Amino acid sequence: MSSHESNYKPTSRFGKWLDDRLPVGRLMHGQFVDFPTPRNLNYWWTFGGILTFCLVAQLVTGIVLAMHYQPSAAEAFNSVDHIRRDVNYGWMIQAMHATGSSMFFLAAYIHLFRGLYYGSYKAPREILWILGVFIILAMMATAFMGYSLPWGQMSFWAVTVITNLFSSLDSIIPGVGTAIVQWLWGGYSVSGSTLNRFFALHYLLPFVIVGLVALHIWALHVVGQNNPAGLDIKTKSDSVPMYPYAVAKDAVGLFAFLLVFAWFVFFLPDYLGHADNFIEANPLVTPPHIVPEWYFLPYYAILRAVPSKLGGVILMFASIAILAFAPWLDTARVRSSKYRPIYKWFFWLFVFTCLALGYLGAKPAEGSYVAWARVFTAYYFLHFIVVMPILGLIETPKKLPGSITEDVLGPGAGKGATAGAAAAPETR
Amino acid sequence: MSSHAEESNRRDFLVIAANAFAGVGAAVTLWPFIQQMNPDKSALALASTEVDLSPVKEGQAITVMWRGKPVFIRNRTADEVKSAQDVPVKELPDDVARNENLAADAPATDQNRTAKGHENWLVVIGICTHLGCIPKGQALGDAKGDYGGWFCPCHGSHYDTAARIRKGPAPRNLDVPPFAFISDTKIKIG
């Protein structure tokens, strides 16, 4: 919280000298050491730290790969093979980067659903939430361009199909869509020029994400963290300092996450990819089934559920854009779904809908798959534009605990407590 | 007082003029950075190609590259030509010829899909008008779809022997590129 006073005291003479000139140590200490975190945070709150790790890991492995990769139509496919076979530890670093994108999205989606469940988007965290939506969008653009770089069949045809989505604008103003697509391609078809610019942008966008994440954390530290009870920090006993309490908990979550990450890197490095991407890009042959990476499948299902090309594109982008409006669509008085007996079920129905769309996105677009994709696409949007506004008005929430301290220690606890933040957490 | 007002107006004018000038300057500077992404002269230079048709026997098809896109050239059999000619234009999902050599509103008759005097030759860009996949149907063993032309495996679009869309999500007939016969056995595309 902005009102919190850091107890930073530089110990060395150099520390004091620096603190008078550039108080960066004071800033970091105040924001990441004695920053007050709610004492009732559960393990779902460790994903912020996990995501920071993912971003740094992708940057480090990506910069290393760029030292060996060649972004030309003639060399790209072979240079990825060269990285995997010849470059020292290239097999590991390439697997970390390719698997890392899946892990990044896995963590981001858990983080997003956690925010939805506990009402983390509600006032005063609207800007924080919207920045998160921008980060997801930037991650998608980065992952899409990164997927083109191995220049396999799936890379090539994913770029072809997705960039062709813009040609649907031709049905509004003839010629505009085609002009945009040729501008994106730098030619009359997907070619080496396209690959080269995608490589440049794939290198740029992660740094844009770093900037967005900095704003995201800044906004978080202005309003303070939400928590499972959805209450604000009111007294000192409601919070514990970030170090060591939250940091230690984040570390446990991170190591559990790294076990899964490492399992994929070392035992299933290609499991999340597609066999067709081991065939070099060929503009004359389309693979029989074009399927995006798993983290794009729900959007792909929405795209294909709509019979009109333009309509599908609009709904696909709307499915992400609508998240940004959640703070105003949700009319409930309480934040956390823990205290919303009816909405809780709709939340899990929404989770099921997203998983079902993911399943349907991987299936061919025919018969009952399309019919079900339409049903779930409809509920995806109804959840935001009907369930959220209406249920918030008619639902009676359960009784909230009096404070964050009471949420942990039971009713009546923390009344008149004078214990400082550092003394409180034994019973945590 | 009046001189004050005049001063203020002069300043307003200068501020607006300076900002407008800077705005135009910024837009002009931005343009090269946008335009650099468009297809360049070397891509345009590849804009035409000549194809010798003499080795292509009746019933065979070849694929050539033009502007980085596959162009399907099929030497159609008499049956294929007749079945394409017999379809009433009204029955077609897309009733426009999509032939760059003709007017944009020419009806999608088989005559309008081919070159006059060379009705057995069909020349189309082999890119599905749905989301840009390459339809099957060039090789002898390929699935040719319900109408004997081409079939796009991505989302199930069926094209007939004049490469007109008949069934599936594709919105338009396959495009006929600008081309001309420069001799009886040679065409120039582009």
Q: What is the pLDDT of residues A42-51, one digit of tens each?
A: 999 999 999 9
Do residues B29 and B80 share a domain?
Answer: no
CB contact under 8 A, B70 and A185: no
Whether A96 shows a pLDDT value over 90: the answer reads yes
Cβ burial A338-356 (10 Å sphere, 16+ → b, else e): bbbeebeebbeebeebbeb
Whole-structure pTM value: 0.89
Domain locations along chain A: 25-293
Torsion of CA A45, A51, A53, A59, to 10 degrees: -170
* Domain carrying residue B135: 44-189
For residue B146, report the phi and psi dihedrals to the nearest 5 degrees: -70, -15
Do residues B150 and B68 share a domain?
Answer: yes
Do residues B33 and B114 share a domain?
Answer: no
Do residues B96 and B174 share a domain?
Answer: yes
In this prediction the ipTM stands at 0.78
The answer to whether A361 and A312 are in contact (CB under 8 A) is no
Report the pLDDT value the prediction gives residue A286, as an integer from 0 to 100: 87
Going by C-alpha positions, the residue among A403, A408, A225, A230 that lies closest to residue A333 is A230
Do residues B88 and B118 share a domain?
Answer: yes
What CATH number corresponds to the domain at position B59?
A: 2.102.10.10
The answer to whether A357 and A377 are in contact (CB under 8 A) is yes
Question: 3-state DSSP: chain A helix, strand, coil percent, rounded to 5?
Answer: 70, 0, 30
Whether B126 shows a pLDDT value over 70: the answer reads yes
* DSSP 8-state secondary structure symbol assigned to residue A6: P
CB contact under 8 A, A286 and B131: no
pLDDT in tens, A130-156: 999 999 999 999 999 999 999 999 999
Q: Which residues of chain A neighbour B104 with C-beta distances below 8 Å?
A: none
Whether A212 shows a pLDDT value over 60: the answer reads yes
pLDDT in tens, A390-422: 999 999 999 999 999 999 998 877 665 444 444
CA–CA dist A252, A243 (Å, integer)? 14
Q: What is the mean pLDDT of chain A?
A: 92
Do residues B54 and B12 share a domain?
Answer: no
Confidence of residue B156 (pLDDT cuts 50, 70, 90): confident
Do residues B124 and B178 share a domain?
Answer: yes
Beta bridge partners of B70: B65
Do residues B48 and B34 share a domain?
Answer: no
Select which of B4, B118, B130, B155 is catalytic: B155
Q: Name the residue among B43, B63, B131 with its Cβ closest to that of A187.
A: B43
Q: Name the residue among B68, B153, B171 with its Cβ closest to that of A188.
A: B68
Q: How many domains does chain B have?
A: 2
For residue A223, CA distances in Å to A226, A236, B106 come to 9, 16, 63
Confidence of residue A191 (pLDDT cuts 50, 70, 90): very high
The yes or no reply on domain A25-293 and CATH 1.20.1250.20 is no
CA–CA dist A166, A180 (Å, integer)? 7
Q: Which residues of chain B neighbour A73 with C-beta distances below 8 Å?
A: none
